[in-house]
Amino acid sequence: MAFRKPPDGGWGWVIVVVSFFTQFLCYGSPLAVGVLYLEWLDAFGEGKGKTAWVGSLANGIGLLASPVCSICVSSFGARPVAIFSGFMVAGGLMMSSFAPNIYFLYVSYGIVVGLGCGLLYTATVTITCQYFDKRRGLALGLISTGSSVGLFIYAALQRELIELYGLDGCLLIVGALSLNILACGSLMRPLESSSSPPPEKMCVDKVPDQYFVYHEKEKTVEENISILEKGYIDEKCVNNVPDCKHDSVLHKNVLSSINVNEKDTYKKKVVEQTNFCKQLAKRKWQLYLTYWKETMVLFKNKVFSALFVAILLFDIGGFPPSLLMEDVARSANISEDDYYMPLISIIGIMTTVGKLILGILADFKWVNTLYLYVTTLLMTGVALFAIPFAKSYLTLAMLSGILGFLTGNWSIFPYVTTKTVGIEKLTHAYGILMFFAGLGNSLGPPIVGWFYDWTQEYNTAFYFSGFCVLLGGFLLLLAALPCWNACTNQSSKLPPNTYSYKVASNA
């Protein structure tokens, strides 16, 4: 399939709109799962750590399965994957309304919805990149805000639906809304060339009819020879009966020699195919070894190693507020009359603002994106340390806004990765980092919940979260500073396969 040059417009803007709404519809409920978390605590009476697994799986499983999601989109295309994933997300949400226990939710909401979101994210990013080249950054930035807007709206929407129809009715309605993903997916028309006809059909039409005498049904050599032998002898017996017996013996001798030659050719082809399979397996093994060698080279870069630790610790400590902030407010005995807006909605809208502002700052040449990212990590750690001291809705709302804005550093994370390893290693490195980001998303909320179950208060839990984020930020800062200062004198002496932050930053 030959793809045309990305048009950077036209139907591409339709792709941007439907991708925005796809991320809005699929990520709205999982990101705003903190509202449902309170209801599940009351409905099933399980511990906070065990209940937090539902939301953490829904948000982390898509990142953990990102390699599988990429293979699915590459094999089947963005449109079929988006439509199929729409059924997954809607079906998982609707099944969750009938959950008899928390373990059912692990599968229906955590795995089914989470995997569907991961597939949809990969599909929307892939189809957008196919339609845009020069404006790719703008297009990806627009569709990425869909999840943040979904968090803002779904937090208030799910709270209102729970009051009107209960938890089960809320999940059924939200699942029905997710069926609109099918309409969005149907509009993800692949960018392919329609000028050239399919080569397979042309080749088949030009094959002479004689070819099918031997190969119509992939008959074996013995079957083809027996058919030829029978047809030739029958023809001779009809035309010349006296010579029939003589010709039959003669042609049996000739066909027996053909039989031997054909068998030798057949055995030769079998040997050739066997050797080909062996060479293919050997090549695949070499590619597998090369992949792990390149991975080891990446981890020899101390900035990349520190970045890997930082993203893991950031998601362990920084993700739980978006899931648990509503329960933090309830644990602080804040009256519902003081609620002007759900805290999760504040996090969602400020995440959108943070993505835009931090993304704009990263485009300035005088801004060092690595230092900017480290700054967001350190400020996030400080904000997490301040949560135990917040005893009113106003202070929690301010901290929610700060944390939401700083969480927008996801928009500059690809910049940091590119400047750390270089553009040629971006796909490999980013896949590794996203896997560990998903691992952090999956582990963070349950760990914080277990701290609460152990101490019966959130103070220790958020001290632990703040410590994790600060530790990751300081490690990344310490790894970058020596490399930064010594880069000017050492960049010319580095071998081709050695990576440093300064060398890669010029890519």
What per-residue confidence (pLDDT) applies to 38?
87
Distance between CA atoms of 491 and 368, rounded to whole angstroms?
Answer: 18
Q: Which helix (H) or strand (E) holds 239?
A: helix 221-239
pLDDT, tens digit, for every residue of 152-197? 899 889 989 999 999 999 999 999 999 999 999 999 988 765 454 4
Torsion sign over Cα 53, 54, 57, 59: negative
Least confident of 30-44, 404-418, 468-482: 404-418
CA distance 391 to 386: 10
- Separation between Cα atoms, residue 436 and residue 364, nearest integer Å: 29
Amino acid at 249: V
- What pLDDT, in 10s, does the model give residues 438-496? 888 888 888 888 888 888 888 888 899 999 999 999 998 988 876 444 443 443 343 44
10 Å Cβ neighbour count for 250? 12
The pair of structure tokens assigned to 350 is 């400020």
Residue 490: the pLDDT is: 44
Condensed to tens digits (0 to 9), the pLDDT of residues 71-99 reads: 788 788 889 999 999 999 999 999 999 99
- 343 with 395: CB under 8 angstroms? no
pLDDT digits (tens, 9 = 90+) for 331-384: 877 776 666 778 888 888 888 888 888 877 877 778 888 889 999 999 999 999
> Which helix or strand (DSSP H or E) is residue 229 part of?
helix 221-239
Ramachandran category for residue 9: left, alpha or beta (phi over 0 → left; psi -120 to 50 → alpha): left
pLDDT at 91: 95
Question: In this predicted structure, what is the pLDDT of residue 165?
Answer: 93
Domains, the chain, with CATH or none: 1-190 (1.20.1250.20), 274-484 (1.20.1250.20)
Which region among 48-57, 84-93, 262-271 has the lowest average model confidence (pLDDT)?
Answer: 262-271
- Scanning 111-220, the segments in alpha helix (DSSP H) are 114-131, 136-178, 180-186, 199-205, 211-215
pLDDT of residue 88: 94
